[in-house]
Amino acid sequence: MITKKTKKITLNFDRMILMAKKIRIGWFTFTCCEDSTILFTELLNTYYKEWLPKLEFVHARILRKDDANEIQQMDIAFVEGAISSDTQETKLKQIREKATKLVAIGSCAVTGAPSNQRNLFNAEQNVQIKEILEKFKYKEKVLKLADVVTVDESIPGCPMNEKLFLLLMEKYLNAQS
Amino acid sequence: MHNPNFDFIPGSKDFKIQLDEISKIEGAASLEVEVKDGRVEDLKFSISEWKRFYTQAIQGKPAVAVPSLVSRICGTCSNAHLLASLKAVENAFDITISQQTLLLRKLLYHGLIIRDHALHLYIFALPDVFKKNSILDFDMEDPVQHNMLDDAFSVKEVGNKLSIVIGGRSVHAPFPTVGGFLKLPKIDDIKTMRNELLSIRPKILSLIELFAKTSFFHEVQAPFVFTSLVSHDFSYLEGEIRTSEGNTIQQSNFDEHLHAVIIPYSHARGFSFEGNLLMVGAIARLTLGKQYLNKKTLKDTEKYLSFFPTKNLFYNNLAQAIEILHSIDQSIELIESVTTIAPEPPIKPVLKETSGVGVIEAPRGTLYYKFEINKEGVVQKGEIIVPTGQNQVIMERAIKEIVENLVRLGATKEKIVYEIEKFIRAFDPCMSCASHFLKVNWK
């Protein structure tokens, strides 16, 4: 009896720890207009009381200054924007290494467009932008996230599809509780 | 990453600061400072967003389709790009929009001002007032901080909803189009916004008082000029451009007074105004047009409006808070004035070879669009001048002054970095807007 009771208490305690543990998330932005970041901050208007007790913002430049110099381990990395440079590609790979799940957020991350519009420029347009591309070492082509790393989930849309994002949040929050 | 790198010996007057990513601003920017013998030897404020080349991308596209494309330049002020570019196309084709369209656009825009300024003031700037890293760190057991957190999200939500009711979405609104609206809002939905706007009014009065009482202070020593579009109803969308030197400029001639400043280390270009340092945005608008604010706003902010004109650029925060109140009061008046929504189809352009300019006040300052269009109605060239580009040069100059003052006072490295970031946030720069253009040489 004593053993059983002790076990039961231990299980409940484990569950309490699990319930208290926040989901560690990162919100990152590469080449884009940050429309989905803005939409996320607007969704917080409605959901902050529900989400904030359950989420730990490990990285989110729009909301807070990072506590550490290196990218931290995360449960979920939400990544907005396309990849325009080798430095961005390196950072995306670092994020992938540190994130259990990586979610591509919005059209530029999922498809590359419209940030990849220079990929389709004609010769005259390419002449106009050539100097800038060379000076700042742009990649030859703008890439979507899946061209660089494995993407676990995608929320398309320009800005991101709000309903799909809310469904995904519900899934992750339910899995945690 | 965000944490700064230092090469700093306490008490030393020789050191370097490098901030790779400045937090709580719209987009990506970095800063390098080198101080020798207490003087700033080198200072580089760089916009590090990667360009998307919109001025090239719009070439060859139908003019009527361009506004919805350029709204993608910026997530937070997308409706500013939408309305400025619509105005440029409509001016090019000599389209005079109806009074109903103008009223709806004004409402849409007041929604943007409320939401966008609230994002900046509550989410970006307010943590500096409370000496917190983030609004997410506010103490829920502290009634003042708890209220502020609640206010932040409820004010943003009302601005957001107003834009959704009128434009279909607060970001990249799908309904506004050349000559009118693709889909018109319902009068009942518009009317319901009145009480919602009224409900946030007391919260903004508290916010105004808070930013009026902060000790944030830096008066720019270098001479500079304020410019803004000034209209009789402070609508941000109409009027003529005025300067703090007392000059008036027609919207179509604005670009002749702006001189591009190439900043070799930045992805974006800066601007001077006739060779002088230039400041645009809420602080410029209140300096040049505060008398045109809504009467209720004027009455309730009288003691704070006397702060303007000012050289203390931290008062840009206060100016934005007052503008939120104006947009609330003005929206309520507009909503009360409208009784029906007439089923007006958009006015279609008659295609011709033409050019047009559209100037409005974006949340962060004057936004200029110019299109050259061929006889098939296709854009041949475009020029876009954004507020952050106009503010970039004075922002860098002011940061230099702040660093030198702090070094003179023997401030710690943490203090210097904190003050720099706080000041940059007060400017409310928008890097997404600033970095995506190339200078086009107009013939």
The half-sphere exposure of B169 on its side-chain side, counting CA atoms within 13 A, is: 22
Give me the pLDDT at residue B18, please: 78
Write the DSSP symbol of residue B65.
G
Whether A78 contacts A29, CB under 8 Å:
no
**The two three-digit tokens of residue B317, written as one number:** 């925060």
**The two three-digit tokens of residue A18, written as one number:** 């699990």
Instruction: Find chain A residues with C-beta within 8 A of B115's C-beta.
Output: 42
Whether B9 contacts B31, CB under 8 Å:
no
**What's the CA gap between B170 and A46, in Å, rounded?**
15
How distant, in Å, are the alpha carbons of A19, A76, A77 from that of A174?
11, 14, 17
Domain hosting B167: range is 1-443
How distant, in Å, are the alpha carbons of A85, A103, A116, A156, B137 from that of A96?
17, 10, 22, 19, 27
- Apex B287 CA angle, B285 and B293, nearest 5: 60
Into how many domains does chain B fold? 1
**The two three-digit tokens of residue A152, written as one number:** 């676990």
B199 Cβ contact partners less than 8 Å away, ≥ 6 residues apart:
B154, B158
How distant, in Å, are the alpha carbons of A1, B94, B188, B252 from that of B352?
91, 10, 39, 19
Helix axes B143-167, B99-118, angle to 10 degrees: 150
Give me the pLDDT at residue B129, please: 92
Give me the pLDDT at residue A20, please: 56
**What's the CA gap between B322 and B327, in Å, rounded?**
9
Instruction: Find chain A residues with C-beta within 8 A of B69's C-beta.
Output: 114
Q: Domain-by-domain residue ranges, chain A?
A: 22-176
Residue B262 at interface with chain A, using a CB cutoff of 8 Å = no
**Which residue of chain B has the CA closest to A125?**
B56
Q: How many CB pairs under 8 A join A and B?
A: 138
Helix (H, G, I), strand (E, B) or coil at B111: helix
Helix (H, G, I), strand (E, B) or coil at B388: helix
CB pair distance less than 8 Å for A45 and B157 = yes
Give me the pLDDT at residue A17, please: 41
B205-263 confidence digits (pLDDT tens):
999 999 999 989 889 888 999 999 999 999 999 999 999 999 999 998 888 999 888 77
**The two three-digit tokens of residue B167, written as one number:** 């434009």
- ipTM score of the complex? 0.89
Give me the pLDDT at residue A7, please: 43
Give me the pLDDT at residue B35, please: 84
Residue A176 at interface with chain B, using a CB cutoff of 8 Å = no
pLDDT at A150 over 90: yes
A24-73 confidence digits (pLDDT tens):
999 999 999 999 999 999 999 999 999 999 999 999 988 888 877 789 99
Question: Does domain A22-176 fall into CATH 3.40.630.10?
Answer: no
Handedness of CA A128, B438, B237, A159 (dihedral sign): positive
**Which residue of chain A has the CA closest to B432?**
A33
Instruction: Find chain A residues with C-beta within 8 A of B157's C-beta.
Output: 42, 45-46
- Residue in the block written with tokens 């645009």: B280
Mean pLDDT score of chain A: 89
Window B:153-172, CB contacts with A under 8 Å: 153-154, 156-157, 160, 169-172
B207-222 confidence digits (pLDDT tens):
999 999 998 988 988 8
- Start-to-end Cα distance in chain B: 43
The model's pTM:
0.91
Helix (H, G, I), strand (E, B) or coil at B368: strand
Instruction: Find chain B residues with C-beta within 8 A of A30's C-beta.
Output: 50
How distant, in Å, are the alpha carbons of A29, A67, B26, B194, B432 from that of A60?
9, 11, 12, 34, 16
Q: Classify residue B3 as exposed, middle or buried by CB count within 10 Å of its CB (0-12, 13-18, 19+).
A: middle
Whether B355 contacts B382, CB under 8 Å:
no
**Which residue of chain A has the CA closest to B437?**
A129
B122-141 confidence digits (pLDDT tens):
999 999 999 898 988 899 89
State the greatest distance between any 2 C-alpha atoms of chain A, in Å, as a whole number: 83
pLDDT at A19 over 70: no
Q: Classify residue B160 as exposed, middle or buried by CB count within 10 Å of its CB (0-12, 13-18, 19+).
A: buried
CB pair distance less than 8 Å for A62 and B133 = no
- CA-based nearest residue to A26, from A67, A86, A84, A87: A67
For residue B354, give the CATH number of its domain.
Answer: 1.10.645.10
**Which residue of chain B has the CA closest to A85?**
B50
**What's the CA gap between A161 and A142, in Å, rounded?**
22
User: Pick from B135, B153, B438: which is nearest to A129 by CB?
Assistant: B438
**What's the CA gap between B370 and B254, in Å, rounded?**
11
Q: Which residues of chain B have pLDDT under 70?
A: 1-12, 23-24, 27, 266-267, 432-443
